[in-house]
Homo-oligomer: A and B are copies of this chain.
Amino acid sequence: MPSPSPETAQVWSTRDSILLEASRLFATRGFRGTSTRDICAAVGIRQPSLYSHFDSKQSIAEELLRRDLTLGIDALARMQADGGGAAVELYRYLRWEITYDIEDPFDKRALYNAEILELPELDSCRDLLENFSQQLEALIRRGIAAGDFIDMDVVFLRRTIDAISIEAMRGSVDETPIIDQPDLAASLVTRALLSDTSQLNDVRQRAHSLGL
């Protein structure tokens, strides 16, 4: 059904085109709802050729998920290394995450659905995700301890932050774009967590002085 998409013309290797088109089809039809034939039709090759690049359909999902998780973990680590306090670090991380969701050509909407996340072959990815969640929770805990953030259940706050990121994935594709969504989202979340909301502008200024 899907015919080759324009982006799949030249500059992408066949392997990368498979990842790109698979991410988009997974997002709109689900993992099991996307056949290897669908992916190959979108790339412009025949179905068995896929197996010159990937062992199985699952290994495509695995690579997409690992790529996304690794980029996120690295970004969060960078922001923490730069310091500035929990509020600034969280603001900068969120700003990066939403920007990345919007600009990246891959469609990541399906990756965090149970259908993919709970594939038996992906337990190493689930470990990465668990690690990531704990990093975020530690950051929030640090902000609470310093008195910068309100004292709420840390797991609940982390999940709320996850929700905003996932919503950005959803919104980045099919819906009308929002002006400066990364700053809006980072500001709203930071404002929700700050004990003293009047500090938001200060946090934003310090974040921007540290660069994107």
Contact with B along A103-117 (1 / 0, CB 8 A): 000000110011100
Given A27-B114, A28-B118, A163-B167, output 4 extra A-B contacts at Cβ < 8 Å: A30-B32, A30-B113, A30-B115, A33-B33
Given the known A-B contacts A156-B181, A176-B155, are A114 and B28 also in contact in the complex, defined by CB atoms under 8 Å?
A: yes
A5-13, A81-89, A183-191 - the one binding chain B = A183-191
Cβ of A1 under 8 Å from chain B: no
Cβ of A29 under 8 Å from chain B: yes
| Number of residues on chain A facing chain B (CB within 8 A) | 40
4 tightest Cβ-Cβ pairs between the two chains A and B? A32-B33, A163-B167, A192-B192, A30-B30
- Which chain B positions have C-beta within 8 A of A159? 167, 171, 175
**Cβ distance A137 to chain B, nearest Cβ, rounded Å:** 12
Interface of A (DSSP majority class): helix
Partner of A153, one of B115, B162, B184: B184
Cβ of A71 under 8 Å from chain B: no
Cβ of A212 under 8 Å from chain B: no
Cβ of A90 under 8 Å from chain B: no
Inter-chain CA distance A27–B114, complex, in Å, is: 7
Inter-chain CA distance A167–B185, complex, in Å, is: 16
Cβ-closest chain B residue relative to A109: B114
Cβ of A178 under 8 Å from chain B: yes
Cβ-closest chain B residue relative to A191: B192
**Cβ distance A204 to chain B, nearest Cβ, rounded Å:** 14
